[in-house]
Structure 1
Amino acid sequence: MAEGLFWCAALLLLHTYFFYPLLLCAMDGVAQAFQSIRFMRTGSNRRREPQAGPLPSVSLVVAAYNEASCIQQKLQNSFALKYPEDRFEVLIGSDGSSDGTDELVRQCPDPRVRLSPAPRAGKTTVLNRCIPMAQGDIIVLSDANTMIEPGAIEALVRHFEDPEVGAVCGKLRLYNPTKQDYEESAYWSYESFIKFYEGKRGAVVGANGGLYAIRRTLFTQLPPSTIVDDFVIPLRILEKGYKVVYEAGAVAHEETTEDYGKEFGRRARIAAGNFQSLKMVPGLLLPTAGFPAFAFWSHKLLRWCAPALMAVALLANLFLMDSLFYQFTLFFQALFYALAYLGKAGVLKGTGRRIASIAYYFVTMNLAIVVGFWRFLRNAQKAAWDRTARASS
């Protein structure tokens, strides 16, 4: 039984972190090969030619809570976007800001900017209020501290020429002004890689809250208690049978935090919201949903089970010490956790320090899942979010 538990846990961990990304690459390779064969046989173009039709109207919706330090920069960034002025508006939904955010938005002379203030109730309530009042056919959602590159909006909305596309996820680049190499950067690149290949199959599981777009008609009101709206909104669209794709050319930049305690709290909050989301998209749990269900289980559900799987693999390994092979597997597990501890202590240098930091990041990320699950069970995670401190703040 111990051996069975060990291999079950190990293979599920390997699947969610390694086999699933490799499978996505293999599936894309097969699809490309079949497209090449069809092209050789029929001469039909492998790629859909881009349309040159008129661009749809767009509303950039930003939920803001006490963002006085960056809201003017956000507005300036929005005006610099390359999109027809008569088809673009910026809608700022203030969630009870008390630091002068509302006043700064009101001072903006550009008629394309609208402010929707209301008492503090959480980001989900802001979106439930602002998206229906938006005038654009396409809603682009972004955060106040996320700066969007000029051509990103057009790159996003061009995908909606395909009537089967319901949402488009942009590429969010994280940066730290005081640390060139930091732990989240490697993991975020890995996640973006997965989203890229999921997008080729029209099944990106969740969006980057800093930049994604949806059809306004596909938005449905969320329960006010929803914690991770940027996860639930695209999943609901995917559940309806629409494609959720990824656009690597739609780039936005967001600064990370130096406060590791707050970063851990943010991860725990997201984890609690992830577990909460299961009851909101029940259709994606069923095999009848096809590849989107497979992606949801492989990319998300097994990740959320990773702390339990890691514990099972370690405990089961302790009962298998009569085998040299399992002595090695226990040694490597112990080495990994020792590296995580050294990553926390910061005593290593060079490459060793970076490897240890990644191990520490991985362990703390999974500890945050445990904390988030406990908050979910106790219904202790509030929907209203706190502004995350940034390195330059």
Structure 2
Amino acid sequence: MAELVFWCAAVLLVHTYFFYPLVLFAMDGVAQVAHNLRYMRSGANQRRAQPVGVPPRVSLVVAAYNEASCIQQKLGNSLALNYPAERFEVLIGSDGSSDGTDELVRACTDERVRLSAAPRGGKTSVLNRCIPLAGGDIVVLSDANTMIEPEAIQRLVRHFEDPEVGAVCGQLRLYNPTKAEYEESTYWTYESLIKFYEGKRGAVMGANGGLYAIRRSLFQPLPASTIVDDFVIPLRILEQGYKVVYEPEAVAHEETTEDYDKEFGRRARIAAGNFQSLRMVPRLLSPLAGFPAFAFWSHKLLRWCAPALMALAFLANLFLVNGIFYRFTLMGQVLFYGLALLGKTGALKGSARRVASVAYYFVTMNLAIAVGFWRFLRNSQRAAWDRTARASS
């Protein structure tokens, strides 16, 4: 029994972190070969057709809670985006801000800027209120502390020329003003690569609230208790039979936090929201959903089970120490967790320190998932969010 538990846990962990990306790479390779064969037989032009006609109206919706320190920079960044001014608006949804955010938005004289202010209710209440108010056919969602590159809106919107596309996720690049390299950057690059390949199959497993776009007509009001709106909204669109794609050239930038306790709390909050979302996208749990279900189980559900799988693999390994192979696997696990502990202390130098930091990030990320699951079981995670302090704030 211990051997069965060990191998089940190990295989599932290896699948979610290694085999699943390899499957995506292989599927993309096969699809590319098939595409090339069709092209050689037909001789059709592979160049993307240039868009014709009037570009769609776009509304940039930003949920803001006490963002006085960055809202003016956000407005300046938004109004400088390269999109026809007469087809573009910025809608700031203030969620009971009490620090002067509303007054700063009202002081903006550009008629493309609108403010929708209401008492504190959480980000979900802001989106439920503002998305139906938006004048654009395409709604771009962003955070107040996220700065968008000038061409990003055009690069998101061009995908909606395909009527099967319901949502487009941009690429969020994190930066740390005090560290050239930091723990989250490696994992973030890895996750972005997976999203890129999922996007080629029209099934990106969730967006990042910093930058993504949806067809306004496909938005379904969210339950007031929703915690991870940027995960649920794209998956609900996927459930409706539309594609969710990834546009790596639509780039936005966001600063990471130096407060690791708050960062851990943010991850735990997201984890609680992930477990909560299971009842909001039930059709993606069924194998009948095809590739989206495979991606959902492989990329998300197994990741959320990783803390339990890691614990089971370790405990089962303790009962198998009589075998030479299992002695090595137990030693490997002990060394990995020891490396994570060294990553916390910062005792190592150079490349060893970077490896230890990644191990520490991986372990704390999974600890946050476990904490989030406990909050989900207790129903103790509130939906309203607090802005995360940044190094420059």
TM-score if structure 2 supplies the norm length?
0.99
The structural deviation recorded for 1:188 is 0.5
Who is 1:314 aligned against? 314
Who is 2:267 aligned against? 267
Mapped partners of 2:330, 2:52: distance in 1: 59
1:15-26 paired onto structure 2 within 5 Å: 15-26=15-26
Letter in 2 for 1:140: V
1:86 partnered with 2:86: yes
Mapped partners of 1:195, 1:47: distance in 2: 24
For structure 1, which runs of at least 5 residues remain unmatched after alignment?
none
Letter in 2 for 1:199: G
Who is 1:384 aligned against? 384
Letter in 1 for 2:27: M
Partner deviation per Cα, 1:75-118 (whole Å, 9 max, x = no partner): 00001100000000000000000110000000000000000011
Call closer, same or farther: CA 1:45–1:323 in 2, change over 3 Å: farther
Mapped partners of 1:321, 1:45: distance in 2: 62
Letter in 2 for 1:138: I
Mapped partners of 1:94, 1:213: distance in 2: 20
Q: Secondary structure at the match of 1:52?
A: coil
Q: Is the 8 A contact 1:35 1:46 kept in 2?
A: no
Runs (4 or more) in structure 1 with deviation over 6 Å come to: none
Q: Secondary structure at the match of 1:166?
A: strand
Q: Secondary structure at the match of 1:344?
A: helix
The structural deviation recorded for 1:44 is 2.4
Q: Secondary structure at the match of 2:352?
A: helix
1:1-393 paired onto structure 2 within 5 Å: 1-46=1-46, 48-393=48-393
TM-score if structure 1 supplies the norm length?
0.99
The structural deviation recorded for 1:49 is 3.0
Q: Secondary structure at the match of 1:307?
A: helix
Q: What is the number of equivalent residue pairs in this alignment?
A: 393
Letter in 2 for 1:41: R
Mapped partners of 1:164, 1:267: distance in 2: 32
Mapped partners of 2:156, 2:52: distance in 1: 15
Q: Secondary structure at the match of 1:99?
A: coil
The structural deviation recorded for 1:59 is 0.3
The structural deviation recorded for 1:42 is 2.0
The structural deviation recorded for 1:47 is 5.6
Mapped partners of 1:89, 1:79: distance in 2: 8
The structural deviation recorded for 1:46 is 4.3
Mapped partners of 2:198, 2:55: distance in 1: 26
Q: Secondary structure at the match of 1:207?
A: coil
For structure 2, which runs of at least 5 residues remain unmatched after alignment?
none
Partner deviation per Cα, 1:232-282 (whole Å, 9 max, x = no partner): 000000011100000011000000000000000000000000000000000
Q: Is the 8 A contact 1:9 1:312 kept in 2?
A: yes
Mapped partners of 2:349, 2:240: distance in 1: 50
Pairwise CA RMSD: 0.8
Letter in 1 for 2:165: V
Mapped partners of 1:90, 1:135: distance in 2: 10
